[in-house]
């Protein structure tokens, strides 16, 4: 969303950073291509890629429409695969790169009522393992952070959950920042499970 992007970009600039917000529809190949072209033209080669977009519908398998399956996989898996495939050759040539995929606890466990989301996040975990397995000797690291419930709009999809007990966005960001600062000799993951100490389903 453009308004949210602009707000984040302003915060980065106020702290002395550089931000180039580009609104994109990750279900559209043309939009993804435009995003990549703009990023590389404005900021240069991509050394760090964080795939953080997510989409979910609260439905069991038998009630999930094909269009909902398609959108879930387009946003949660296909876009991450497309973006990763686009930046990997450059990372391999420079022998340096970091890819962080944001999955979910639903990527390592089953959450009843989130059929398409669970399957897509399991696929995102597998994608991360494929990236890491193929680049052990290229100076490239790939991780998949699997947080429990996070206090975002998507968290409200889950009936009966208590957002006061969710992880904060900052806690997930802190984990991503920690991973990006690990030394070249440090091996973690690629799966990083991140949970709150509180039960998200308790009031």
Buried b / exposed e over 78-94, threshold 16 CB at 10 Å, is bbbbbbbebbbeebbee
- Percentages helix, strand, coil for the chain, rounded to the nearest 5? 50, 15, 35
Buried b / exposed e over 123-157, threshold 16 CB at 10 Å, is bbbebbeebbeebeeeebbbbbbbbbbbbeeebeb
In order of 4, 111, 130, the CA distances from 7 in angstroms are 5, 32, 34
Residues identified as active-site = 117
């Amino acid at each position: 969303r453009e308004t949210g992007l602009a707000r984040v970009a302003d915060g980065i600039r106020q702290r002395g950073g550089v931000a180039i917000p580009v609104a994109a529809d990750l279900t559209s190949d043309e939009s993804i291509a435009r995003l990549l072209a703009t990023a590389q033209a404005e900021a240069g080669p991509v050394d760090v890629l964080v795939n953080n977009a997510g989409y979910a519908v609260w439905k069991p398998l038998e009630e999930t429409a094909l269009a909902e399956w398609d959108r879930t996989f387009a946003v949660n898996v296909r876009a991450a695969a497309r973006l990763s495939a686009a930046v990997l050759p450059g990372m391999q040539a420079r022998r340096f790169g970091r890819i962080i995929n944001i999955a979910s606890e639903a990527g390592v466990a089953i959450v009843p009522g989130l059929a398409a989301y669970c399957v897509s996040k399991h696929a995102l975990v597998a994608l991360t393992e494929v990236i890491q397995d193929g680049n052990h000797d290229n100076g490239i690291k790939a991780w998949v952070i699997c947080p429990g419930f996070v206090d975002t709009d998507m968290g409200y999809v889950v009936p009966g959950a208590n957002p006061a007990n969710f992880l904060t966005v900052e806690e997930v960001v802190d984990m991503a920042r920690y991973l990006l600062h690990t030394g070249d000799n440090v091996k973690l993951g690629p799966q990083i499970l991140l949970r709150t100490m509180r039960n998200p389903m308790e009031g």
